[in-house]
Chain A
Amino acid sequence: MTGEALGFYCLSAVLVGSALAVVLTKNLFHAVLWLALALTGTAGIFLLLDAEFLAAVQLLLYAGGIVTVVVFAIVVTERLVGERISQTSRHIASGAAVSIVLAGLVVKAIMAGPLTSIRTPMTGDVTALIGETVLTRFVLPFELLALVMLAGLMGAIYFARPED
């Protein structure tokens, strides 16, 4: 087994374990911490795939940003509701069934195509390439995404505005 494979299996174990813990733990705050670990694990997988830029962005936006916002949401809601909210996982059986079927389908789809075991190493500066493609070939989707975000922001402001 190569070092890369070993790293992949270790990271995957962490990733799957922490992702399961996110859904299964009762304590909402612990769930967020597991989520942070899962997102960090994802960044590790990106690193293994030579996608340093993606890994760093993953850490910056998800592990740093999203987790922070979620914590904020939990604490603020708990104060509004006035009691500890705990995770109940009511639909755990149906959820498990759906995810098992989904996993089966994904595995089947991957197995259908031929797998190349040797990955050619990346050459050149991937970061510069990402920047170029985002501003040339994918400029329209990129701008559309910005619009979607703007809409989301406006929606948030609309809901948060004081009643008059």
Chain B
Amino acid sequence: MPEWLLPVIAPFVVLNAIIGIVTYVTLLERKFAARMQSRIGPYRVGPHGLLQPIADAIKLMMKEDIVPTAADRPVYNLAPIVFLAPCMFIFATIPFAPGLGVADLNIGILFFLAISAMEIVGLFMAGWGSNNKYALLSAMRAVNQVISYDLPFIFSALTPVLLAGSLRLSDIAMAQEGLWFVFYPVLGQLAFVLFIVSTVAAENRAPFDILEAESELVAGFRVEYSGMKFALIQLGEYAHILGASFLGALLFLGAWSGPGPEWLGPVWFLIKAMCVFLLVTWVRWSFVRIRVDQILALSWKALLPMTLLLLLATAFVVVWRHSGVA
């Protein structure tokens, strides 16, 4: 295979794999949620409802594409793409096994966090472009929430960075060969809990789903979208959650390390990411929505100081251990 072909093939494979996984992650969530509520969940399409996501995708593609007359057309039409692009970009830096990834940047985690924060641009484009009261309200809430929760999300993700001493994602994964960071005494567990909480919030899921809020805002910023555009937004949202799950598995659960031969690494990684995803889903289906001001207060008054303190404590421990060794 010629050298120049690799940068073309690798993103293509990753992109398609991600779309495939995202499609089935929706089924996983629906099944999981159904079990939590003593239901069966999707069952009719295919054995055990296994073909349900495909039926959903076909249905969404066949649907009529409606554009509201009062919409800001260019913004409205561009929004799903602007929303989806960063959600897909975040997978570029994730190494799925040693040396197996699209781009193992030396600032990998920073790139991941920066790109994932870009999601908000597409979100408020959708909210504004729809020219709908509910959509705009939802976009404003999203802006509020993103400003508040990006910082704790970043700070909690930085704890493993400090422990590993590198911003490169593969280095962070390698640093956990002996001990997964989630098992690092005290610091690891605290950081993991804070990471999960801020992930749930940063992904705008219940109990932090004020911008979706079915009971007050109908469906929030995507209320005017239908058909393929709706599918794109949905795809982006799940891709983003999946990306955060992979990040969580990589930062805290030792990425691809696991028993068995080396080629099983990506499988272990996927299983761990799914565990993080189910954890987030579990939180989603267990709690009721919190009020807007409570959510913001939780971030600024509790999560932010806690993550900052944790970061400081981690820095102290790292410096102390290094000086002890040297």
A interface vs B, CB < 8 Å?
27, 29-30, 33, 36, 40, 52-53, 56-57, 59-60, 63-65, 67-69, 71-72, 75, 125, 127
Given known contacts A52-B105, A75-B140, A68 and B114 CB-to-CB distance under 8 angstroms: no
Q: Give the A-B pair count, Cβ closer than 8 A.
A: 62
In the bound assembly, the distance between CA atoms of A36 and B117 in angstroms comes to 13
Given known contacts A56-B107, A75-B136, A125-B106, A68 and B115 CB-to-CB distance under 8 angstroms: no
Question: Are A52 and B111 within 8 A (Cβ)?
Answer: yes
In the bound assembly, the distance between CA atoms of A72 and B124 in angstroms comes to 10
In the bound assembly, the distance between CA atoms of A69 and B143 in angstroms comes to 8
Partner of B107, one of A29, A52, A71: A52
Question: Are A30 and B75 within 8 A (Cβ)?
Answer: yes
Q: Which residues of chain B (114-162) have a CB below 8 Å from chain A? A: 114-115, 117-118, 120-121, 124-125, 128, 136, 140, 143-144, 146-147, 150
Question: Are A63 and B118 within 8 A (Cβ)?
Answer: yes
Question: Are A56 and B117 within 8 A (Cβ)?
Answer: no
Given known contacts A57-B110, A127-B106, A63 and B121 CB-to-CB distance under 8 angstroms: yes
In the bound assembly, the distance between CA atoms of A68 and B141 in angstroms comes to 12
In the bound assembly, the distance between CA atoms of A33 and B115 in angstroms comes to 16
Question: Are A59 and B146 within 8 A (Cβ)?
Answer: no
Question: Are A127 and B167 within 8 A (Cβ)?
Answer: yes
Question: Are A59 and B121 within 8 A (Cβ)?
Answer: no
Contacts of A52 in B (CB 8 A): 105-107, 111
Q: Does B113 contact A (CB under 8 A)?
A: yes
Question: Are A29 and B110 within 8 A (Cβ)?
Answer: no
Nearest B-chain residue to A72, judged by Cβ: B143
Given known contacts A29-B128, A56-B114, A68 and B143 CB-to-CB distance under 8 angstroms: yes
Closest Cβ of chain A to B8, distance in Å, is 15
Question: Are A57 and B143 within 8 A (Cβ)?
Answer: no
In the bound assembly, the distance between CA atoms of A64 and B113 in angstroms comes to 10
In the bound assembly, the distance between CA atoms of A40 and B140 in angstroms comes to 22
